[in-house]
Amino acid sequence: MRARQSRPSVARVYSYVLGGRDNYGVDKDLGDYFTQDLPGSEQLAITNREAILRAARDLATGGIRQVIDMGCGLPASKNVHEVIRAQHPDARIVYVDNDPFVVAHGKALMVPDANVAVIEADVRDPAAISEHPEVKQLIDFDEPVGILFGITLSFLNDDEDPSGVVKYWTNLMPANSKVYISSFRTGRTREAAATSQKILEAFGRGRFRTDDEILSCFGDLELLDNRLLPCAQWHWDDELDGPRDHGRTLSVWEELVVSGLARKS
Ligand SMILES: C[S@@+](CC[C@H](N)C(=O)[O-])C[C@H]1O[C@@H](n2cnc3c(N)ncnc32)[C@H](O)[C@@H]1O
């Protein structure tokens, strides 16, 4: 029998939509609402997840060997450390989430590994993260570091200063470090309104931002590609990811989640 839980969690619903098994009835109900009542909306989760794994690959290809994944979510079929490790077996990765369920599952499912940590912390308190003993042990801020914010900043309200959170890290990191942000983007469609409303109603949070608002989170960093792109199109490599029709019209859902990667000069 399923354990009971009164409220859905972002991490569990996202994981459920991606095909994960660690969830409660309340998460499943909300996930089913998205897939059945807003068919196609699962593409938000799917394309976001695929893009963050491509971002991890790009960081590794660019020579980055240490990564902090902010708001990492539950372990999925493929994980950031596995992608980075494919290129740098000695890479160091810290997963951060403020959901104890995520941290417990991350620790339990992760093969014990001295170079991978899963810590419970809140991205709104970056100093607590940078001062965390496991971060101090694994991340050397004298070497380029990659910081991933996979949809996490969308769960910060404006008065929680998402730009300030990113700025904390960019001030700390040396040149050639990179920051990846994916974010919900505003849309004018009926589907966009229904999705953002349901997310806000279910979680009490979830901010869909304009491109300008998302771009402002990168602060002074140099945005690679000079623009945000829908996750569905972001850094897709036909050779590695399979052939894709790059000229096709994206679905309304695919337009609602975008990515950008920026570098510190
Ligand atoms: C939708 S999941 C995304 C997981 C992963 N980043 C990805 O892109 O595949 C968002 C995650 O951010 C976490 N999160 C939301 N707000 C957070 C906060 N203030 N501090 C830390 N984690 C947070 C949630 O618990 C959840 O696991």
- Local confidence band at 5 (pLDDT 50, 70, 90 cut-offs): confident
Interval between CA 247 and ligand 1 midpoint (Å): 31
Q: How far is the CA of 236 from the centre of ligand 1 (A)?
A: 23
Whether residue 91 contacts residue 116, with contact meaning beta carbons closer than 8 Å, is answered with: no
Q: How close is the Cα of 75 to the center of ligand 1, in Å?
A: 12
* pTM given for the model: 0.97
Q: Are 209 and 183 in contact (CB under 8 A)?
A: yes
Atom 20 of ligand 1, residue of closest alpha carbon: 122
CA distance 224 to 196: 28
Nearest CA to ligand 1 atom 14: 71
Is pLDDT of 20 > 60? Answer: yes
Please write the tens of the pLDDT for every residue from 83-111. Answer: 999 999 999 999 999 999 999 999 988 77
Pocket of ligand 1 (CB under 6 A): 10-11, 14, 48-49, 52, 71-73, 97-99, 102, 122-124, 150-152, 155
Tens of pLDDT, residues 223-235: 999 999 999 999 9
- State percent of the chain over pLDDT 90: 94
Q: How far is the CA of 205 from the centre of ligand 1 (A)?
A: 12
Answer yes or no: is pLDDT of 77 > 60. yes
Q: pLDDT tens across 26-46, in order?
A: 999 999 999 999 999 999 999
Q: Which of 224, 233, 226 is nearest to 255 (CA)?
A: 233
Give the model's pLDDT for residue 4. Answer: 57
Assign residue 177 a region: left if phi > 0, alpha if psi is -120 to 50, beta otherwise?
beta
Residue 9 CA, closest ligand 1 atom number = 25
